[in-house]
Structure 1
Amino acid sequence: MTLYSKTRLATSSALAVIGLATAGAAQAQDAAASDKTPSAQEIVVTGSRIARSGFTTPTPVTMLSNVDLAKASPSTISEALRTLPALTNTSGTQRNSGSTGGGQSFLNLRGLGASRTLTLINGHRFVSTNITGSVDANLVPGALVERVDLVTGGASAAYGSDAIAGVVNFVLNTRYSGVKGQVQYGLSSHDDNHEFLATMTAGSRFAGGRGHIVVSGEYFKNGGVPGDARDWARAGYQIITNPTGTGTPDNPSQILAPNVRLVTSYGGLILNGNGGTATANASFRGITFGPGGTVGAFNFGSLTSSGTQVGGDGVDNGIIQQINRPLERKSIFAHALFDVTPQWQVFAEGSYSEVHSDYINGPNVHNSTAAQTAYITIQRDNAYLPVSVRNQMTSAGVTSLTMTRWDLEDGLTHTDNLNKTLRLVGGFSGRLGGSWKLDGYFQWGENRNTNIVKNTNKIGNFALAVDAVVNPADGKIVCRSTLANPSNGCVPFNPFGVGSPSAAALAYVNGDSPAYIRTSQQVAALNLSGEPFSTWAGPVSVALGGEYRRETADVTSDALSVANGYKIGNQQPWSGAYTIREGYFETVVPLAHDLTLLRKLDLNAAVRLTDYSTSGTVTTWKAGVNYTPLDGIRFRLTRSRDIRAPNLNELYSRGRQGVSTVRDPFKGNATVSNVSSLTTGNPALTPEIANTLTYGAVFSPRFAPGFQLSVDYYDITIDGAIATVTDQVALDQCFAGVASLCTLSSRDTAGNLTSFRSAPINYSRLRTSGIDIEASYRVPMEALFASWKGRLTLRAVANRVNHYVTSAPGLVTRDVAGSIVDSQPKWRGQAMIDYANGPFNATLIGRYVSGGTYDVSRSAAQLGYQKVADYAVFDGQVSFTLPALGKDGQIYLNVRNLFDRTPRIAPLAGNLAIDTNPFLYDTVGRMFRIGIKAGF
Structure 2
Amino acid sequence: MSTNAVSARPARYARLCLLATSSLLALASPAFAQTAPGAALDPQAAADPAADQVSEIDEIVVTGSRVGRSGFTTPTPVTVLSNEQLEKSAPSTIAEAMRSLPALSATTGPQRASGTQGGGQAFLNLRNLGGVRTLTLLDGRRFVAASQTGTVDVNLLPSGLMQRVDVVTGGASAAYGSDAVAGVVNFVLDTKFDGLKVEASYGVAGEGDNIENRLIVTGGRGFLDDRLHLTGSAEYYDNAGILEGEREWARRGSNLINGPAGGPALISASDVRVIGTYGGLITGGTGGTAAQNASFRGLQFGPGGTVLPYSFGSYTTATQQIGGDGVDSSLFQEINRPLERSAFFGHADFQLTEAVKLFAEASYGRTATQYSTSINRHQTTNPITIRRDNAYIPTALRAQLDLNPSVSSLTMLRYSAEGGLTDVAVDTETDRYVAGFNADLGSGLKLDGYYQHGRTRQQTDILNNEITANFTRAVDAVRNGAGQIVCRSTLTDPTNGCQPFNVFGEGSPSAAALAYTRGTSTTDSEFTEDVVAINLAGDLFEGWAGPISFATGAEYRKEQAVLTVDALSRSGAFLFGNPQPWAGEYDVKEGYVEVVAPLLRDLPLARELEVNAAARYTDYSTSGQVTTWKLGLSYTPVEDLRFRATRSRDIRAPNLSELFTTGRTNTVTVTDPFKNNVRLSGIFVTNSGNASLQPEEADTLTIGAVFTPAAVPGLSLSVDYYDIKINDAIGTLTGQQTVDQCFSGNPLACSLTQRDGAGNLTGLLAYPINLSTLVTSGVDFEASYRVPMDAWTDSGANLNLRTVVAYVDELATTTPGSPSIDRAGEVGISANPHWRANVQANFDLGPWNAFAQVRYIGGGKYDNTKDASAVDLQHIESQAYLDGQVSYRFDQVGPAGVEVYLNVKNILDKDPPYAPGDGSIPVATNTGLYDTFGRMFRVGVRLDF
1:85 aligned onto 2:92: no
Query: Is this contact kept in 2: 1:195–1:221, CA < 8 A?
Result: yes
1:813 aligned onto 2:820: yes
Aligned-pair distance for 1:267? 0.9
Aligned residue among 388, 411, 436 for 2:445: 436
- Per-residue CA shift, 1:423-466, capped at 9, x if unaligned? 00000011111110000000000000100100000111101111
Moved more, 381-390 or 701-710: 381-390
Cα distance in 1 for partners of 2:683, 2:717 equals: 51
Cα distance in 2 for partners of 1:867, 1:303 equals: 24
Secondary structure of 1:657's counterpart equals strand
Q: Which amino acid aligns with 2:323?
A: G
Query: Is this contact kept in 1: 2:535–2:551, CA < 8 A?
Result: yes
Query: Is this contact kept in 2: 1:37–1:175, CA < 8 A?
Result: no
- Per-residue CA shift, 1:104-161, capped at 9, x if unaligned? 1100000000000000000000010001100001011111001111000000000000
Determine the structure 2 residue equivalent to 1:59.
Answer: 76
Aligned residue among 261, 264, 274 for 1:245: 261
Aligned residue among 118, 122, 129 for 1:105: 122
Aligned residue among 514, 519, 523 for 1:515: 523
Query: Is this contact kept in 1: 2:332–2:421, CA < 8 A?
Result: no
Aligned-pair distance for 1:758? 2.4
Aligned-pair distance for 1:393? 2.1
Query: Is this contact kept in 1: 2:560–2:585, CA < 8 A?
Result: yes
Q: Which amino acid aligns with 2:391?
A: A
Aligned residue among 214, 235, 252 for 1:197: 214
Cα distance in 2 for partners of 1:692, 1:571 equals: 37
Determine the structure 2 residue equivalent to 1:94.
Answer: 111
Cα distance in 1 for partners of 2:74, 2:535 equals: 18
Q: Normalising to structure 1: TM-score of the pair?
A: 0.95
Secondary structure of 1:438's counterpart equals strand
Cα distance in 2 for partners of 1:680, 1:58 equals: 41
Q: Which amino acid aligns with 2:34?
A: A
Secondary structure of 2:867's counterpart equals coil
Cα distance in 2 for partners of 1:50, 1:245 equals: 65
Query: Is this contact kept in 1: 2:274–2:326, CA < 8 A?
Result: yes
Query: Is this contact kept in 2: 1:413–1:455, CA < 8 A?
Result: yes
Secondary structure of 1:226's counterpart equals coil
Cα distance in 2 for partners of 1:909, 1:620 equals: 37
Cα distance in 2 for partners of 1:255, 1:669 equals: 12
Q: Which amino acid aligns with 2:147?
A: N
Q: How does 1:633-672 map to 2 (within 5 A)?
A: 633-672=641-680
Cα distance in 2 for partners of 1:22, 1:869 equals: 40
Aligned-pair distance for 1:888? 5.4
Determine the structure 2 residue equivalent to 1:6.
Answer: none
1:303 aligned onto 2:333: no
Cα distance in 2 for partners of 1:586, 1:892 equals: 45
Against the structure 1 CA distance between its residues 559 and 355, is the aligned structure 2 distance closer, same or farther, given a 3 Å change threshold?
same
Q: Which amino acid aligns with 2:96?
A: E
Aligned residue among 687, 691, 704 for 1:679: 687
Secondary structure of 1:917's counterpart equals coil
Secondary structure of 1:445's counterpart equals strand
Against the structure 1 CA distance between its residues 54 and 22, is the aligned structure 2 distance closer, same or farther, given a 3 Å change threshold?
closer
Determine the structure 1 residue equivalent to 2:368.
Answer: 356
Determine the structure 2 residue equivalent to 1:9.
Answer: none
Query: Is this contact kept in 1: 2:789–2:799, CA < 8 A?
Result: yes
1:716 aligned onto 2:728: no
Cα distance in 2 for partners of 1:674, 1:829 equals: 37
Aligned residue among 631, 649, 654 for 1:623: 631
Aligned-pair distance for 1:190? 0.3
Cα distance in 2 for partners of 1:102, 1:613 equals: 30
Secondary structure of 1:383's counterpart equals coil
Aligned residue among 779, 802, 808 for 1:801: 808
Secondary structure of 2:664's counterpart equals coil
Secondary structure of 1:842's counterpart equals strand
Aligned residue among 598, 609, 616 for 2:606: 598
Query: Is this contact kept in 2: 1:17–1:63, CA < 8 A?
Result: no
Secondary structure of 1:733's counterpart equals helix
Determine the structure 1 residue equivalent to 2:597.
Answer: 589
Cα distance in 2 for partners of 1:888, 1:557 equals: 52
Cα distance in 2 for partners of 1:408, 1:351 equals: 41
Aligned residue among 188, 203, 212 for 1:186: 203
Secondary structure of 1:518's counterpart equals strand
Determine the structure 1 residue equivalent to 2:45.
Answer: none
Aligned-pair distance for 1:749? 2.4
Determine the structure 2 residue equivalent to 1:323.
Answer: 335
Cα distance in 2 for partners of 1:355, 1:338 equals: 32
Determine the structure 2 residue equivalent to 1:900.
Answer: 909
Aligned residue among 133, 143, 156 for 2:150: 133
Determine the structure 2 residue equivalent to 1:269.
Answer: 281
Determine the structure 2 residue equivalent to 1:524.
Answer: 532
Q: Which amino acid aligns with 2:422?
A: T
Query: Is this contact kept in 2: 1:891–1:932, CA < 8 A?
Result: yes
1:847 aligned onto 2:855: yes
Against the structure 1 CA distance between its residues 881 and 44, is the aligned structure 2 distance closer, same or farther, given a 3 Å change threshold?
farther
1:862 aligned onto 2:878: no
Determine the structure 2 residue equivalent to 1:10.
Answer: none
Cα distance in 2 for partners of 1:884, 1:453 equals: 51
Task: Count how many residue pairs are aligned between Structure 1 and Structure 2.
Answer: 905
Aligned-pair distance for 1:98? 2.1
- Per-residue CA shift, 1:567-601, capped at 9, x if unaligned? 11211001010000010000000000000000000
Q: What's the Cα RMSD here?
A: 1.7
Aligned residue among 480, 483, 487 for 2:495: 487
Cα distance in 2 for partners of 1:750, 1:388 equals: 34
Q: Which amino acid aligns with 1:620?
A: T
Q: How does 1:698-737 map to 2 (within 5 A)?
A: 698-737=706-745
Q: Which amino acid aligns with 2:340?
A: E
Aligned-pair distance for 1:808? 2.2
Aligned-pair distance for 1:381? 0.7
1:279 aligned onto 2:296: no
Query: Is this contact kept in 1: 2:265–2:870, CA < 8 A?
Result: yes
Cα distance in 2 for partners of 1:38, 1:708 equals: 22
Aligned-pair distance for 1:37? 6.2
Cα distance in 2 for partners of 1:514, 1:659 equals: 18
Cα distance in 1 for partners of 2:924, 2:766 equals: 28
1:831 aligned onto 2:839: yes
Cα distance in 2 for partners of 1:560, 1:417 equals: 19
Secondary structure of 1:232's counterpart equals helix
Secondary structure of 1:486's counterpart equals coil
Secondary structure of 2:85's counterpart equals helix
Cα distance in 2 for partners of 1:281, 1:751 equals: 22
- Per-residue CA shift, 1:879-931, capped at 9, x if unaligned? 01111356652100000000100001111111111100111110000000000
Cα distance in 2 for partners of 1:466, 1:307 equals: 23
Moved more, 348-357 or 19-28: 19-28
Query: Is this contact kept in 1: 2:30–2:840, CA < 8 A?
Result: no
Q: Which amino acid aligns with 2:566?
A: D
Cα distance in 2 for partners of 1:16, 1:340 equals: 45
Aligned-pair distance for 1:656? 1.6
Determine what percentage of the aligned residue pairs are the same residue. Answer: 51
1:468 aligned onto 2:477: yes
Determine the structure 2 residue equivalent to 1:171.
Answer: 188
1:417 aligned onto 2:430: no
Moved more, 807-816 or 327-336: 807-816
Q: Which amino acid aligns with 1:327?
A: L
Aligned-pair distance for 1:668? 1.7
Query: Is this contact kept in 1: 2:30–2:842, CA < 8 A?
Result: no
Query: Is this contact kept in 2: 1:442–1:523, CA < 8 A?
Result: yes
Determine the structure 1 residue equivalent to 2:50.
Answer: none
Aligned-pair distance for 1:18? 3.5
